[in-house]
Amino acid sequence: MREKRGGAPGTAVAKSRRGVFAMRSDAELQRDVLDELRRDERLRIEDLDVKVEGRVVTLTGRAETEGQCWRALQVARYVAGLARVSNHIVVRPH
């Protein structure tokens, strides 16, 4: 999906590959980001939290490596309809 500007605050208009536009709320975007992060088997982030406000995502939690922090940011950015991703995941090796 690709983002299209417009719509009510707290929603995103995303265009699918079929050309269909859909309004997505912050709650839907949060769910999509969490689903993508949980699907990635390489990520091991404790206390993972995803907040979305006005299409801006904030990630928090504890990762084992810098690489996992970077990967979480890349995975979150993959979700269509987001304005920005702010990564506050900290590295705390076990």
- 2/25: higher pLDDT: 25
Q: Dump pLDDT digits (tens) for 47-83.
A: 999 999 999 999 999 999 999 999 999 999 999 999 9
pLDDT value of residue 1: 44
Return the percentage of the chain with pLDDT > 90, whole number.
68
pLDDT value of residue 3: 44
Distance of CA 23 to the CA centre of its chain: 16
| φ, ψ for residue 72, nearest 5 deg | -60, -40
pLDDT value of residue 14: 58
Residue 16 has pLDDT above 60, yes or no: no
pLDDT value of residue 62: 96
- Cβ burial of 47 (10 Å; 0-12, 13-18, 19+) is exposed
Domains plus CATH for the chain?
A: 26-91 (3.30.1340)
